[in-house]
Amino acid sequence: MTKIDRDFERSQQLYALKSMCFTDSGLYNWTFENDNGKNPNMSRAKCYVDRWNKMRSENIGLLLWGDVGTGKSYFAACIANALIEQGVSVRMTNFSAILNDLFSCDDKNEYINKLNESSLLIIDDLGIERDTEYALEQVYNIIDARYKSNKPLIVTTNLSLTELKNPVDTAHKRIYDRVLEMCVPIRFNGENIRCEKAKRKMDTAKRLFDTEV
């Protein structure tokens, strides 16, 4: 096999892994190389990737918590993309998507087992899902199944650590206790990156609109 053939085969394999990981192709470019350098936690993401074999064998997950727009999802996607480059299977999704899938799924256990085939599961935005008895039960089932699979889990949430440690009821407590048992908390704070991007766009638009043709 020539180098061109090998490179093509590798690119196809990486594309397949990214397709299985992300439902949004825009996340393919959320990488360490494209990072703007403003997130002080990014060194921890690189460390997680560099020590993946140990993280995997010790079943060490991460809980990324903090305000909206502080880079939690980008951090998680960088880990996903870097591990995919190493041939590791990763799945990044959220509970809203999972619950939608489960609602129309004939075999819920098969769906959950499929999620846990990935070496790393990343669940984005814990806490934004529907707050019904059915939804909370399914969220717990997903978290508990991951726990029993003995594979790492990364969770992002806008909830504070205080809220996670002091849930409002038993249903939430079951979920949050499992997450805190599986995942090491990392706090994200600082400027809202989304607001910063929106301001840049607004400033650019104002300049463009004010420019005489």
Give the Cα separation of 24 and 121 in Å (integer).
Answer: 16
Position 193 pLDDT exceeds 50? no
Poorest-confidence range of 64-68, 183-187, 207-211? 207-211
pLDDT at 185: 96
Q: What is the CA radius of gyration of the chain?
A: 19
**DSSP conformational letter for 27:** G
pLDDT at 202: 57
Give the Cα separation of 135 and 147 in Å (integer).
Answer: 18
Residue, of 18 and 213, whose pLDDT is higher: 18
pLDDT digits (tens, 9 = 90+) for 98-130: 988 888 888 988 999 999 999 999 999 998 777
Give the Cα separation of 27 and 54 in Å (integer).
Answer: 26
Position 195 pLDDT exceeds 50? no
Per the CB < 8 A criterion, the answer to whether 58 and 90 are in contact is no
Joined tokens for residue 66: 């903090």
Joined tokens for residue 85: 């480059």
Position 172 pLDDT exceeds 50? yes
Q: Is 123 helix (H, G, I), strand (E, B) or coil?
A: strand
Residue, of 205 and 34, whose pLDDT is higher: 34
- Locate all alpha helices (DSSP H) within the chain, ordered by sequence: 3-21, 42-50, 52-57, 72-85, 95-103, 108-115, 133-149, 161-165, 170-182, 193-210
pLDDT digits (tens, 9 = 90+) for 14-52: 889 999 999 899 999 999 999 988 888 999 999 999 999
In 3D space, the residue among 37, 30, 120, 118 whose CA is nearest the CA of residue 75 turns out to be: 30
pLDDT at 108: 87
pLDDT at 7: 62
pLDDT at 175: 95
Per the CB < 8 A criterion, the answer to whether 163 and 67 are in contact is no
Q: Is 32 helix (H, G, I), strand (E, B) or coil?
A: coil
Residue, of 147 and 191, whose pLDDT is higher: 147
pLDDT digits (tens, 9 = 90+) for 43-86: 999 999 999 999 999 999 999 999 988 999 999 999 999 999 99
Contacts of 182 (CB under 8 A, 6+ apart): 59, 61, 143, 146, 147, 152, 153
Contacts of 177 (CB under 8 A, 6+ apart): none
**pTM: predicted TM-score of the whole model, two decimal places:** 0.84
Band (199; pLDDT cuts 50, 70, 90): low
Poorest-confidence range of 5-14, 27-36, 152-161? 5-14
